[in-house]
Every structure is written in structure tokens, then in C-alpha cells.
Chain A
Amino acid sequence: MSYTYDSIASLHKAIPPFSPYIPVALLPYIAFILLTATFALAFYFSTLPKTAVPLREVAVASTASVLGGFGVVALFCSMGVYV
């Protein structure tokens, strides 16, 4: 599409402002909750017995990883490193 500078400037003024999927004010609390859960699950993972089909271990590890992933990103943002 071809926009001129002036039309983009007025478009920029008119459109609704940016809003994130997760409100920024909640990020520190989300980071804390998710990282606590990750830590708890990691500890639980370390207590699991060895089995032939490691179903429980895989389930716990993947949940902990995903929660940890979101938790670390939220942690970075609350610490001021806006990733």
C-alpha cells in the first residue's frame, strides 16, 4: 500500500494505543508464581523413581519447562530488561 508521510502520521495519531496481551503491572506477580511452580516441579522431578516408560518424568519436565519459559520472560521484564 502506498502511504505518504502525512497520511501515516495522522493514521498513527488516530489508531488505538498499543496494549500488551498481559498487563505489565501483573508481570512481577506472574513471574513469582510461575517460577515458584517451576522450582517446585523441578524438585518433584528430582524425587521421581526411574521407570521403564518415563511418562510422569516427561510430563513434569515439560510442564516445568513451559512454566519456566514464561516465568523467565516475565522476570526479565519486571527487572527492567525489556525483552
Chain B
Amino acid sequence: MLGPWRSSVSFFFLAIAPFVSAGHSFENTAIVRTVELGGTVVHVTTTYAVKALEDGSNIYTIALGQKEHEATSALTAKIKGQMAPLEVEKLGAQDGDFQLYDIRLPGYLKAGGTTNLVVETVQTHVTYPYPEEASQKDGQSLKYEADLLVLSPYDTAVQRTKIRSPFPQIHSYTEPNVEFTEDAPVTKSGATLTYGPYKNVFPSANKHFVAEKQQRIYVHYSYDHPVLEIVKLERAAEISHWGANLNIQDNIHLRNAGPRLKGHFSRLEHQSQAFFQRSAPHMLPGLTLHLPAGIRDVYFYDLIGNVSTSQLRTAPSVPKGSQNTQFSVLELKPRYPLMGGWNYSFTLGWDSPLADSAGWDQDLGKWIVGVPVMTVIPGTVIDEEELKIILPEGATEVEFFAPFPALNDELSTAVTYLDTTGRPAVTLRYKNLTDTHAGIVYVAYKVPFSAHLKKPLAVATALTGLFVLAFVWKRVDTRIQK
């Protein structure tokens, strides 16, 4: 049974409703797009200074270029200065050149009324290593591609794009020919590039504009952190009522998405780099993970066996649902340092008291458990995730609530130790997750008391079978000669 989803940020298709041209009831006095460059994850914040041209305007439409839309994994809209996210609706396909989103403003604007709208998006897989190969001694540089102009179905008085690199060295950037400005189309100041200001851009959310006026820009910048990507994450959360335990196990397929290693890996070079503390920026020696507080029995193994190069500092348990400021810190070192293009797959799991994650609701007669969607590795994108929540045997009336829509979800049966009929399992699949997606999935379920007794009775039945065998054996004459 599908649970209801968050209504404040929801994406649903208006395939049947025609696109009403609300295009001319607003005007953009200014658009500022700020791009924070990173490794696999790029944060883009676009601020629209909006002026209403008609009374009663409250649906503002933004446009994203097609490539930008495909790379966007999260989009939130807010009024500048306010915390509450606004309702965003994705409109039906627009001939594949751009994508429109309708944002419902909190109030109705009168003609001439102004407001500032902040749209934050997280883009994944928009950068690539360039040069694509690097030896152990070389540095690491990435290239970022984007559209030059911010599209909008309304007139824009002035727009600019600021691209900020986290490290000071920018190797090169596109210097485009733009008709919307008399001055230099791009200026550089330290680690910030400013494309703009471009004045008097007419409504650009149409095929003609995209074909004629839109351009791609490239920024080639150095990046001194390893660029990580989790190709696949399989997370299983198993709930035990007898043991009052929540076990979470992550099967992580980690990849270094930096430049491919040129030549062979030299252990000598690696050791001397470590000794003189001038490690290559694209090499990943280890990871520091922040795991939940109150965990115990952490295990870290891979295909070969247990990996002992790890250090764990646990934090004491915190009450359920409280704002978590404490984390257990796990520093783990893979079996080998991850060079560019290398993969490492491992399993990480832990147990935690069920009281920290689950509670009993007397009114509903159900238990409600909260399972985190992912373990956050900052600046890393998870290409694919499968989250499986395994409930106790005999759980019924299962309802789940996800913080954001999943690609698909299913209810299946998992069989593990001492199971007879198997346990219900909720499986959710996701794509392109980043740190902004670190939410909690809630599952409500009922377990009748008789279901709790299934396990002891299953074992008792097996023992009874042995006793019956002994009973029969006693009464059978097995002597060969009388």
C-alpha cells in the first residue's frame, strides 16, 4: 500500500492540463545564478527578483534547459529570507528543449508587487575529469559545462551567472559572444567567474531562443579533493522485536570518479608521497563516515574478508526523534588506496537499540520505525540505491512514508534465521541521491502477539520432531540377530 508523500515539495505531471500561458503576468527585474562547483555534486542557487504585472498573480514559472533538467536531482524553491519550501509542479514535456516548473507563491501579488524567489538545485554528473588520465604524481582538474543564459518565460531586465570554484586555480573558461551586453561578457575575480550582466533578455523559454541564442559554457578548474561516486548502495534495515534491535547493513560500491590512472600503480611512489605528505589530490586513502549515535557491533568487510584498517569512536545513544548533534565517527581505510577510475566494494553494518528508532502508538495499535535513507558521504552522489526495510515476521497493515518519491517501491517477503512464513520487506529504489536527500523513511506496522510466538514455536516443533524420532526409535527393534 503506497503511503502519502510530502505535499510541500511534490512533483506530479499535469499531462492533461494545457500549458496556460501565464507567461506575461510577471517580469524579472534581476536573475542571479550562483554555481558552487564541486566534484560530482554541484549546487546551483538562482535568485529571481520578480515583479508582478497583473493583480492576483501567484503561479510563477521557471525554466531549466534540457541538459540542466536531466542533471538536476533536487529542486527546492523558497521566498528569500523564509524557511518554508514552496510547492513546485513539473509541467509536461516541452518538445525536449527545456523543462518548465510552476511555483506557487505564498500570497497573491498585486500589479507592481515584487518578491524575491530563491530556487536551489543540486546537479549531479555535470563535471568530468579533464585531462581524463593522470599519473600518480599529477594533479586533478575537472571541467564543468552549463548553459550560458538562464531561461525564463518572462522578460528579464538583467541577469548574471556567478561560478565559484572551491580551489583558487581556474585553468580556462569560455569567453562567449553575447549580444545582450556591451561590456566584457565574462569577468574573473579570484576564484569567481561572472558571466553578465546581460540586459534586456526577452522571454527565452521557447525553441527559437534555445536554438539561436543559447550557448554552452565550460569552466576548467583544478579540484584538490578526491571525486567520489557510489555506483550502487544496497541498504538493508532489519528489525527484531525479540532482540529489540535494528540492524543496518550497507553494501557500498564506491568509485573514484577522478582521472583514470595513467601507467601502473607504484607502491614506492605512494609510500614516499605519504611520507612527505604531498599526496596526489585524486587519491583516496580513506573515508571518515558519520554514523548514528548509539551503535554497537560495527562490522566492515569486503569480498576477501574482514577489513581491520578502521577506527571507530561511538557516541552514546540519543532518545528517539531528537535532533541528532552527536555522531559515531568511523575512519575506514579500504584495502588499497583508491586511484582514479578504481572501484572498491565493501559491506558496512551495525546494530543499534530499537528504542532509538521505533516507537509504539497506542491509538493506531502500530509500531512506527524511522530508517535513514543513506549514510551521508559529503560531496558524493549515489547513482542507484535500493533500500530494504525488513519487518518482523507476521507484520501486517504495513504503511510507509518516504521523504521524497522513490523510483519504485514494492512489498516482498524476506526469509532469514528461524523464519517459517518469512518477513514482509519494503523495498524502495532511488537514483542520483546527494547529501540533500538525507531523510528518514517511516514505516508503520502491526504485529499481533501470536506472530511474536511464531519463532519459539517453530523451534519447539523442530525439537518435538526429534523427540518423536527418539520415541519411535525406542520402540523399533534394530538388533540384527535376535
Contact = CB atoms under 8 A, between A and B. Distances in A.
A36 B418 CA distance: 21
A23 B208 CA distance: 70
Interface residues of A, number: 46
B359 interface: yes
A74 to B, nearest CB: 8
Interface string A44-83: 0110001000100100011011101110111011001111
Contact of A50 (B238, B368, B475): B475
A65 B463 contact: yes
Given A11-B361, A64-B463, A17 B368 contact: no
A72 to B, nearest CB: 5
A80 B297 contact: yes
B319 A17 contact: yes
Contacts of A21: 452
Given A15-B368, A73-B455, A82 B360 contact: no
A25 B458 CA distance: 24
A17 B370 CA distance: 12
B470 A83 contact: no
Interface residues of B, number: 59
A2 B356 CA distance: 25
B243 interface: yes
Given A18-B359, A80-B351, A83-B417, A68 B6 contact: no
Contacts of B173: none
B245 interface: yes
B358 to A, nearest CB: 4
Interface string A1-14: 11111101101111
B464 A62 contact: yes
B242 interface: yes
Interface string B402-440: 110000000000001110000000000000000000001
Contacts of B265: none
Given A72-B459, A81-B417, A17 B4 contact: no
A73 B459 contact: yes
B360 A16 contact: yes
A16 B461 contact: no
Among B5, B238, B471, residue most surrounded by chain A Cβ atoms (within 10 Å): B471
A68 B6 CA distance: 47
Contact of B4 (A3, A74, A83): A3
A69 B370 contact: no
A8 B467 contact: no
B351 A12 contact: no
A4 B401 CA distance: 8
B212 to A, nearest CB: 43
Contact of A68 (B238, B358, B463): B463
Nearest to A42: B467
A80 B243 CA distance: 9
A51 to B, nearest CB: 11
B460 interface: yes
Nearest to B440: A9
B418 A12 contact: no
A14 B370 CA distance: 13
Given A15-B362, A61-B464, 14 more contacts: A4-B7, A6-B8, A8-B368, A8-B401, A12-B321, A16-B359, A17-B356, A18-B359, A61-B467, A69-B455, A73-B455, A82-B245, A82-B351, A83-B417
9 contacts: A2-B4, A3-B4, A11-B368, A17-B358, A18-B357, A61-B467, A72-B456, A73-B455, A82-B351
Interface of A: 1-6, 8-9, 11-22, 24, 27, 38, 42, 45-46, 50, 54, 57, 61-62, 64-66, 68-70, 72-74, 76-77, 80-83
A-B pairs, 7 with minimum CB distance: A13-B321, A69-B460, A82-B243, A82-B240, A15-B359, A61-B467, A69-B456
